[in-house]
Amino acid sequence: MKAQELYQQGFDLGRRRLYKEAVEAFTQAINLNPNFVEAYMIRADARAGAGDKQGGVEDFQKAIDIYRARGQSQIADMLLVPLNSLQNEIRFDQEDQGQPEVEDEPKAK
């Protein structure tokens, strides 16, 4: 299967809220095409939906890094909004559980 087909499969699974299956499809697409920035972005949402918010943060950061490497800083900057939102969710979850705050901030390049 091609990376684009796996991406579409993951997208369809995510729309049906089958997040774990969607993550698997996006991961396969990324394995075939490691610079498939759209797959990282949508996998970030699917990972968060599956309960892996830290994985979502990592995927958003990877997408930001890819866009910056391509000289597309404006697009990268737009991804800081969902990245920061997910990081805030993690902080709130940790505060609710009495854990120390996460100190990871978005990387400015």
Report pLDDT digits (tens) over 17-41: 999 999 999 999 999 999 999 999 9
Residues 48 and 86: beta-carbon distance below 8 Å: yes
pLDDT of residue 22: 98
pLDDT, tens digit (0-9, with 9 covering 90-100), for 49-77 = 999 999 999 999 999 999 999 999 999 99
Positive or negative, the Cα torsion across 79, 85, 104, 36? negative
**pTM assigned to the model:** 0.84
Convert the pLDDT of each residue in 40-52 to its tens digit.
Answer: 999 999 999 999 9
Q: Say if residue 84's pLDDT is above 80.
A: yes
Angle among Cα 14, 3, 59 to the nearest 5 degrees reads 55
Q: Cα separations (Å) of 90 from 50, 61, 100?
A: 14, 15, 11
Maximum pairwise Cα distance, the chain: 45
Domains and CATH numbers, the chain: 3-96 (1.25.40.10)
